[in-house]
Structure 1
């Protein structure tokens, strides 16, 4: 036995010695050699696929926070939001009490055509029960999505029906809209909300702008809050809509990627008129290209909070087994020559903790805690305003984050799905009555008031759920809350802050309820019109855009000496083109 061990050890030492003596040891070959040794000598069975997948993921993770590895089975799903469609039945859902509850039925899609409603609970998919402990989103997606033209049978429980209803749905392509809302906020000001930069964003944006112009739009507010980005080419196309010919949009450059510039072609559809872009800490990547381009070219004003700070470009590389790596190949630079990428020297976890860092430092609430060194100072192209690189794009008008409307009770109502579920049940009984009294979105927005009985029934439904009651129970160690409400359910008393919370959320809750009803009765566009009452950056932007003087900072500060001729007409037109001309 001792002899066998010695022989094995000598063999391993010989192999090791042979490898170490190679004059140039290719690192790719080194990885293969390690894998071969593991397979040849490791004491247990090895899952080579998992081993390699994990190794690739770790390699890319160590490069930067945005390079990543996508397994073959996840590639298609990861691309769907940006390709702007998938094949399925056309609902959004939430899992409540181990049951699939329909939150939204997408207009014009298969589920709407067969009669699925918001609030329906799916209890069976084909011949498989859909109610069980451990039900998750992956299971639902796997069973409801499928090739266009294929069929799926679903059994649903609907309020007011004693027996399950069965629907056969023929799957189809389901659009994922990136322009979630567009409407007029003032007689001459339009609002467009863009949630991602996808393959169809430009088509959607053109449609929105055309519609708003027909309604009198001369100036525009573009909402990029919480827009995490998307396709670079879409961001470039969108920037092009606002700029004059040959103005710089962005350029990219990397160690193995030559400098590549993108400039406006002069054919944009909104080269004139005032522009405001809404941004916050959730605006990243392509959102920062658009907002930074608008700021650096002095084309408009930014309102909100500092953006995330992603200035890296990823390129997908497909591998033969269907998997994919998204590799950072370049940095992008906005027109002032600044790169807004934040440092990531301390690793991915530290990098992703940015929101809490800003929260804890007070930056989100207005404290002037974010300072950039002079080495990262740049100037805007036209007016020479000071801007900074290396940490996102900062707004021209800061609006603090508003946490005053949130509370345990309010947050639990939303998180546990009671707002959606109770709203659907309410409309099952009252839809016809409400639409008879408020037949248009305009009349609903301006005049509909949620009745008190709705809230009382909502509270009663929520407070009969132990998970909800556990969510709103105030721990004994919490010394902040001093006003308590005891809720009795079964044989247990729950110490809650209900009364305190409902006072705190007295403005947010009615808006959330009404917005949810608006989505069900009309569409997402009306949902945002109701919700945006509490969109403080938008309200600030509406105030800013009405005063022409607020836009003076975008133009050259030219002083004319006494006795000199007035500024030539050409320069005057150049100075004022963005304020008063309309294309």
Structure 2
């Protein structure tokens, strides 16, 4: 009897990788290109790819990793399409999906990595760490008897050790200031919720503020809870802050719009090559806040689902849009889970605002680099500082319900422009932030002054507390000890920001309660003193109300 054939791991894995590629190719060909010609083209391409990959695997002079070659080839292929079609390998796919999930399983701490050492910034209320008695400022020495310091410790390493299946146990050894010996804790991991509504509070007796940082699984529910709470406090005006919000789930965005617009009106529609992915989304429910005036803050970091919200509210004259031109992402991606755990996010359609405008900014197929430099170019051309520098395409004019001219083809242009304030931004400040100098001192300050801070309500703290010159001197000394070279001129420019940021962080760590659904109200209330967009927006509610009344008074919402 002949000896059986024995294959090494690469030989066994190669057909598997190729079958995954073929399965994805046939699926995409049949689904998106249609007809036998598309399938034939895909099969021909697969045959060529298979030949090349097998030749490399069998004959190339050095050992190669075929997994990496396949991933690389897919990534480079997709670069020939649009800037938002993307491939994630199995590891990155898990991380990408987790960003839009409403929580994770872990021990429940906010941490800071400083000089190869992990410090607890704060235990999350209701989490395993808080229940066990872990405190702000604790230094993590070991996790499951593995040393937790050194050059190997980065964010990925920390997540891999602290996160894990719900109910699993982890042993933590920490060193606490004032305690001579390390302390050991046996923790049982649990579900730790994450939040997308970062702030929700009353600015005055009638005006509520809601900050939405992304559109994740729980965003719509969080938004409804925030609006409901503010209405019970007397809210008649809403400031919705979408600055820096990169988007997320489209349906969470359209559901949010439905809470603000009455009647049966278009929110967004999509159009692509395949009619199966064409959708029209309209308002259908009696919303929670259909009558009060609304102002929406956006900037160059507001993208995708954020632009759907801003575009719908602007087109129906329901809200006054304030800030700077948004990012300009009007392409819809469908996630396709591949059999090895990787994920393809394929652009299948464009979305359009109610007036018919696509807000997707121009791009050249295959030129991802130029596309990614768009924000930098806006900065250098002065658009972030001067309203007249915004260059809208005059051929892409559309009209709102009230007949106002709005533009497509390059994001949402605000109704009221607010320039970016960089007067206090300096390289010295960026170095302080890069090494967490101010945040670290805030944690230490709260720990050392806990009793004094407990005597103050946050309202009193907000009115009366100011970091002292001695506090500022300690920050400078800590920065110098961390090899940040002092620059007197830059420090003077940044000093008001450093002082306000320190107050905001102390307020956060001293007063923030995570049982308020993850709200960072204290931080935002302090920082609003230096927020020019915020300060401008709160003066514009009369204009927003007038705009909304004008639209409603027009028959059928049109001129």
TM range (shorter): 0.7 to 0.9
Displacement of 1:574? 8.7
Displacement of 1:403? 0.8
* Alpha-carbon distance change, 274 to 93 in structure 1, aligned in 2, over 3 angstroms: same
Matches within 5 A, 1:558-577: 571=553
CA offsets, 1:24-52, max 9 Å, x none? 77222222232233334333333221111
- Where does residue 21 of structure 2 map in the other structure? none
- Where does residue 110 of structure 1 map in the other structure? 128
Displacement of 1:550? 5.3
* Alpha-carbon distance change, 48 to 112 in structure 1, aligned in 2, over 3 angstroms: same
Displacement of 1:103? 3.0
* Alpha-carbon distance change, 425 to 571 in structure 1, aligned in 2, over 3 angstroms: closer
1:448 is the counterpart of 2:465: yes
TM-score (norm 2): 0.87
Displacement of 1:372? 2.3
1:387 is the counterpart of 2:418: no
CA offsets, 1:214-239, max 9 Å, x none? 11101101000000001011111111
Q: Is the 8 A contact 2:295 2:322 kept in 1?
A: yes
CA distance in 2, matches of 1:76, 1:135: 20
Matches within 5 A, 1:518-557: 518-523=507-512, 524-545=520-541, 548-549=542-543, 551-554=545-548, 556=550
CA offsets, 1:223-269, max 9 Å, x none? 00000001011111111111122110001111124421000003211
Which segment is superposed worse, 427-436 or 175-184?
A: 427-436
CA offsets, 1:383-416, max 9 Å, x none? 1111111110011111111111222333322221
1:75 is the counterpart of 2:93: yes
CA distance in 1, matches of 2:355, 2:281: 14
> Secondary structure of 1:33's match?
helix
- Where does residue 248 of structure 2 map in the other structure? 230
Match of 2:328 among 309, 326, 329: 309
TM-score (norm 1): 0.83
CA offsets, 1:309-367, max 9 Å, x none? 00011111111111111111111111110010011206111111122101100111115
What residue ranges of structure 2 are gaps of 5+ in the alignment? 1-39, 513-519
What residue ranges of structure 1 are gaps of 5+ in the alignment? 1-22, 470-495, 558-569, 576-583
1:172 is the counterpart of 2:195: no
Q: Is the 8 A contact 2:328 2:360 kept in 1?
A: yes
Match of 2:490 among 498, 501, 522: 501
- Where does residue 282 of structure 2 map in the other structure? 263
Displacement of 1:101? 2.3
1:375 is the counterpart of 2:369: no
CA distance in 1, matches of 2:355, 2:531: 30
Displacement of 1:74? 2.4
1:318 is the counterpart of 2:341: no
Matches within 5 A, 1:267-278: 267-278=286-297
- Where does residue 314 of structure 2 map in the other structure? 295
CA offsets, 1:407-465, max 9 Å, x none? 233332222112122222222221112212x0x22222122222332222222222222
User: Which structure has the larger Rg over C-alpha atoms?
Assistant: 1
Displacement of 1:161? 2.5
Displacement of 1:86? 0.8
Match of 1:139 among 157, 182, 185: 157
Aligned length: 508
CA distance in 2, matches of 1:48, 1:506: 53
Displacement of 1:211? 1.0
* Alpha-carbon distance change, 573 to 518 in structure 1, aligned in 2, over 3 angstroms: farther
Match of 2:60 among 33, 42, 49: 42
Matches within 5 A, 1:96-245: 96-245=114-263
CA distance in 2, matches of 1:219, 1:432: 37
Displacement of 1:555? 5.2
- Where does residue 516 of structure 1 map in the other structure? 505
Runs in 1 of length 4+ with deviation above 6 angstroms? 572-575
Displacement of 1:134? 4.0
- Where does residue 384 of structure 2 map in the other structure? 364
Q: Is the 8 A contact 2:102 2:216 kept in 1?
A: yes
Q: Is the 8 A contact 2:393 2:408 kept in 1?
A: no
- Where does residue 353 of structure 1 map in the other structure? 373
